[in-house]
Amino acid sequence: MAVEAWYMDISEEDQRKPHRLTPNEPVSLDQLKTLGVFHWKLNADIYETDPELEQIRRDHGYSFMDIIAIHKDTLPNYEEKLKMFFEEHLHLDDEIRYILDGQAYFDVRDKEERWIRIAMTKGDLITLPAGIYHRFTLDETNYTKAMRLFVGEPVWKAYNRPADDFDIRQKYLASLQEPGERAVMLSPLL
Ligand code: KMT
Ligand code: NI
């Protein structure tokens, strides 16, 4: 099953709602790839022993992992953190998340700065490239459990927009213009 994604409306309504356009304007996995966003579907029921997950971690050097349950009773400073997650930001490293339970939305900017909403459900693993502007929210179910993966010692620092002066931002923007470069810099397979 492919992950579902769509262009967002611009209403200021509750961030946890789907915010689809009418009619819906879907976004394909191939479109996401052109932004450097990659997706895998895995069997989250066996994440502790999953050879497919092991393979991905080996291939990409995702040596670090932890698990975060995002729910008001389990996450310290829940409200504050959710507010931070929904601020448009970037990181200096890739953001890799694997949904083990529940569901949530990752929003990413396309090349024209339009918001794309990616509906992540159990079994979806996604990689957002370093330098892409994005944000995260729970949906109306108000719960998800996610594995966070990282190459080496994790750095969770987020830089809220505007963060255009970072080299990694400029590199990311360049990668959008030059398909050859992008393939080298962003494809997890190379
Ligand atoms: C981020 O940086 O956007 C996040 O860590 C989102 C929450 S982790 C499921
Ligand atoms: Ni982030």
Secondary structure (DSSP) of 100-160:
EEEEEEEEEE-TTS-EEEEEEETTEEEEE-TT--EEEEE-TT--EEEEEEESSS-----EE
pLDDT for 127: 98
pLDDT for 185: 60
Which residue, 151, 145, 99, 105, is CA-closest to 123? 99
User: Which ligand gives the minimal distance to the CA of 133?
Assistant: 2
Side-chain-facing half-sphere of 153: CA atoms under 13 Å? 0
pLDDT for 115: 98
pLDDT for 2: 83
pLDDT for 182: 54
pLDDT < 50: residue spans in the chain:
none
Check if the beta carbon of residue 35 is closer than 8 Å to that of residue 111. Answer: yes
Minimal-distance CA residue to ligand 1 atom 2: 85
Instruction: Please give the class, per CATH, of domain 4-162.
Output: mainly beta
Ligand 2 centroid from CA 129, angstroms: 10
pLDDT for 80: 98
Ligand 1 atom with least separation from CA of 99: 9
Q: What is the pLDDT of residues 10-34, one digit of tens each?
A: 999 999 999 999 999 999 999 999 9
pLDDT for 183: 55
Ligand 1 centroid from CA 96, angstroms: 9
Instruction: Give me 123's structure tokens.
Output: 């079994």
Which residue, 77, 97, 105, is CA-closest to 16? 105
- Find out whether the beta carbon of 169 lies less than 6 Å from any atom of ligand 1: no
Ligand 1 centroid from CA 158, angstroms: 9
Minimal-distance CA residue to ligand 1 atom 9: 146
pLDDT for 171: 98
- Find out whether the beta carbon of 158 lies less than 6 Å from any atom of ligand 1: yes
For 10, 33, 90, 100, the CA distances from 121, given in Å and listed in that order, are 23, 19, 22, 8
